[in-house]
Amino acid sequence: MYPMGYFYGIDMTYIVLVLPALIFAMYAQTKVNSTFNKYRGVANNRGYTGAEIARRILDMNGLQKVVVERVPGNLTDHFDPKASVVRLSDSTYSSTSVAAIGVAAHEVGHAVQYAEGYAPIKLRNTIVPVVQIASYAAWPLAIFGILFSFSNLANFGVILFGLVVLFQIITLPVEFNASNRAIKTLENNSILGNDELAASKKVLSAAAMTYVASAVVAIANLLRLLSIVGFGRNRD
């Protein structure tokens, strides 16, 4: 007799919940890569580089102490709040493409969020250490609890994974807000023209989809974990 959620030995919870989410995530990643590659060949009319725009927007917001650095890779751009550094990838730092300008402005948006005390990013930053542990420990604890009939341990595993989901959900407004800040700054300061701005919006919208996909995958895995733990309780 197969456990609940299984059909002839096939884990239906994975097929119904997780697999579609993973397919969506793969589509989102493909979309952001193809959109970025499409517009990385379109230079902005004023010849700004990603690094120049990052520095300019930081200075506009009184963030002269935040450094702009180059890091290896493609789309490895990020803001490091501990070091107060905006790190731009090889595909962004010296590129004059409208795609690079949008990405650079987005990362600076995170620096501005920290400077202004934007609540969601402060909350996300607070739970990062716990989430890093929870992402590794949640499933093993839950499965161990089921196998050895430690229901409290299994429940604790579910709670830990719930924190991972919470982190992914909090990430959404953080990323959307950074993109909105970027577009408004590029538009209000006439850094990009209308057509260039539209292209940057497409790049940032595609990037936003990857964060939505990550949240969907996390939620799907949480529902699967709840199903597995629930079956463990019923079996006992």
| Model confidence, pTM | 0.88
Is there a catalytic annotation at residue 107? yes
Query: In tens digits, what is the pLDDT along the chain, a chain of 236 residues?
Result: 344 454 444 567 788 889 999 999 999 999 999 999 999 999 999 999 999 999 999 999 999 999 999 999 988 999 999 999 999 999 999 999 999 999 999 999 999 999 999 999 999 989 999 999 999 999 999 999 988 888 899 999 999 999 999 999 999 999 999 999 999 999 999 999 999 999 999 999 999 999 999 999 999 999 999 988 875 555 55
Euclidean distance between CA atoms 96 and 48, whole angstroms:
5
Q: State residue 46 phi and psi, 5-degree precision.
A: -95, -5
Using the CB atoms, write b or e for 155-175: b if 16+ within 10 Å. Answer: ebbbebbbbbbbbbbbbebbb
pLDDT at residue 235, rounded to an integer:
52
Catalytic entry in 107, 116, 175, 187: 107
Domain borders along the chain are 6-235
